[in-house]
Amino acid sequence: MAKEWRDAFGKQNEDVILLSETPDGRQSLEFPAISRLDVLPLSSPGLKNRLFLLNNAIWPQLPTIVGYDQPSMNCLQITKSKNNNIVDISISLRLSMNQYANSSADIRESRIVWRAIQPISSSSTSTEMVYLSTLPIGWIPDNAMDLFQQFIAQIKTDWLEVCSRFGKHLSAQRLEQLALKGKPSSIIDCLAQDAQRLTVLRSDLAGQVYKAEEFMTKYCARYNADQIPKSLITLIKDDLETGISKEIENLALTLNDILQTEFALVSIYEARLSTKLAQNVMLLTYVSIFYLPLGFCAALWAIPDMTDMSTRMPFILTATVVSLVTLLVTFSLDRIAAIMLRVYQLLKDYIAKKCGRIAAKWKEWKKK
């Protein structure tokens, strides 16, 4: 929405947008100069609410009453400064959109600030005087919790994009996995890193939800007469915590499926390598078997006068017969083993029957 307004009026991204609302509901839009923000007035005659939409690039140029502090990565940061009965509250989050997908950094920074007059007692509500926001979409808030709800909605949108990018990353991993078909690669290491990143995702989400709930409870108890908007509770608990947690769990299931597939592909690939190696060993064995009888016969006939016909012919005949018999036995081992097993089975059955007959005769003799 902020970008559309700037484009419609021919403004730059660095230009400040001021949305104002009068008590009778009339709204206006301005583009004030940054210099006008050097001293924010405590109140503006004839105006009910004011919202400044800013760009993150110009945030350091804002007045000192708002302050500029670099929030920690992926941590919801909430700061509060107080001057007499004037309270300035800043909420910010720098969320890395791509660090979990192992790609270039893309940091999404969201920040809201408001100035309020502290209520006299906890049973009354505070009076907000001015709001500042860097959210891409926003509307004039009714109160501070309405602006905070806009902030949480933007966080939810950013988290959904993080999960979407992570899902695309896992899809690319699966395609690479299927293309490799179990061949040695670094994909196992990448999947292990992805599993670690998912753990970090869960931890970051839990920390942000906890701080958001804690701030909501404490702020409403002190500044909003202990009244917590139900829509805000639903947004934090159901949409942000439960909804994003389900997205992360779906990513974890996808990652686990990819890991199981990788293990299966690697097992099949290694089984094929083992089969190929066994075939090579078998061929080498056949070659060795061919030369084994020849070596035996050569050693047997390692005697003088090998050139004599009476010695050479018996050697040739013996070598031929021994080689043929050896090769015949080698290539018929399965059949020979089956025949021997059958003979063994017949012999065992014959002995068992014989023993049975002897036992029967023994019983008959014993009865007599």
49-85 pLDDT, tens digit per residue, is 888 888 877 776 665 455 556 777 888 999 888 878 7
What CA–CA distance (Å, rounded) separates 223 from 167? 41
Residue 296 CB-density burial (10 A; 0-12 exposed, 13-18 middle, 19+ buried): middle
What CA–CA distance (Å, rounded) separates 308 from 339? 43
What CA–CA distance (Å, rounded) separates 54 from 15? 7
pTM: 0.72
141-192 pLDDT, tens digit per residue, is 888 899 999 999 999 999 999 999 999 999 988 998 888 888 887 888 888 8
- Dihedral sign (CA 51, 132, 56, 137): negative
265-298 pLDDT, tens digit per residue, is 888 888 888 888 887 777 677 667 667 777 766 6
295-309 pLDDT, tens digit per residue, is 766 676 666 666 677
* Residue extents of the structural domains in the chain: 2-270, 282-367
Please name every residue paired with 36 in a beta bridge, in sequence order, or none if there are none. Answer: none
State the Cα torsion 267-269-271-272 to the nearest 10°. 170
In terms of pLDDT, which residue wins out, 183 or 195? 195
Please name every residue paired with 132 in a beta bridge, in sequence order, or none if there are none. Answer: 52, 113
234-268 pLDDT, tens digit per residue, is 999 999 999 999 999 999 999 999 999 988 888 88
Please name every residue paired with 111 in a beta bridge, in sequence order, or none if there are none. Answer: 92
